[in-house]
Amino acid sequence: MSLPHLQLNDLQRADLERLTASGTLSARVFKRARALLLLDRGHTLASVARILSASAHSVANWRDRFHEDALVGIFDKPRSGRPIEIDGSARASVTALACSEPPEGRARWPLRLLADKAVELGYCEHVSHTHVATILKKTRSSRT
């Protein structure tokens, strides 16, 4: 008989079972926790992969990350990416500006003028008129 792919202690097993029973995990994290529990019960990498519709390589990676980082290893690491330049309060300010009285001689706020005014008022360092359109589109507001 071969050695099991993973041996959890009682605390680790209880933590993983509590997480899977909580119902608040993302599908990816749930699948990883389930894989670790199955490995602990004596399943092979191939059988766990078949049960969870994953590759054996992925299951081995999950197991190895758990060995390295313990319970934290099943969660996604922060991903790199472009930082948010216009936060929620700035978005709200742009939306409020769009809902305010348009400039004199205008029936409504043009997107380019909104973008320029948002920068002028210090809501953000720079914003394009297309980004202003995206902000307003996400609020389901009408500029008319």
The pairs formed by 20-28 with CB atoms below 8 angstroms and a separation of 24 or more are 26/76, 28/76
Q: Are residues 65 and 118 in the same domain?
A: no
Is residue 83 in some structural domain? Answer: no
Q: Are residues 36 and 68 in the same domain?
A: yes
Q: Are residues 70 and 92 in the same domain?
A: no
Is residue 80 in some structural domain? Answer: no
Is residue 79 in some structural domain? Answer: no
Cα–Cα distances (Å) from 9 to 34, 67, 70, 91, 122, in that order, read: 16, 12, 11, 48, 55
Residue 1 banded pLDDT, cuts 50, 70, 90: very low
Mind listing the pLDDT tens digit for each residue in 10-36? 999 999 999 999 888 899 999 999 999
Q: Are residues 66 and 103 in the same domain?
A: no
- Rounded to the nearest angstrom, the gap between the alpha carbon of residue 127 and the centroid of all alpha carbons in its chain is 24
Q: Are residues 16 and 53 in the same domain?
A: yes
Is residue 143 in some structural domain? Answer: no
The pLDDT value given to residue 142:
56
The pLDDT value given to residue 2:
54
Tell me which of 35 and 85 has the higher pLDDT.
35
Q: Which domain holds residue 128?
A: 88-138
Q: Are residues 43 and 98 in the same domain?
A: no
pTM beyond 0.75, yes or no: no
Is residue 4 in some structural domain? Answer: no
When computed from its CA atoms, the radius of gyration of the chain, rounded to whole angstroms, is: 25
Most confidently modeled range among 20-24, 86-90, 107-111: 107-111
The pLDDT value given to residue 28:
93
Mean predicted lDDT score pLDDT of the chain? 88
Between CA 98 and CA 80 the distance in angstroms is: 32
Count of structural domains within the chain: 2
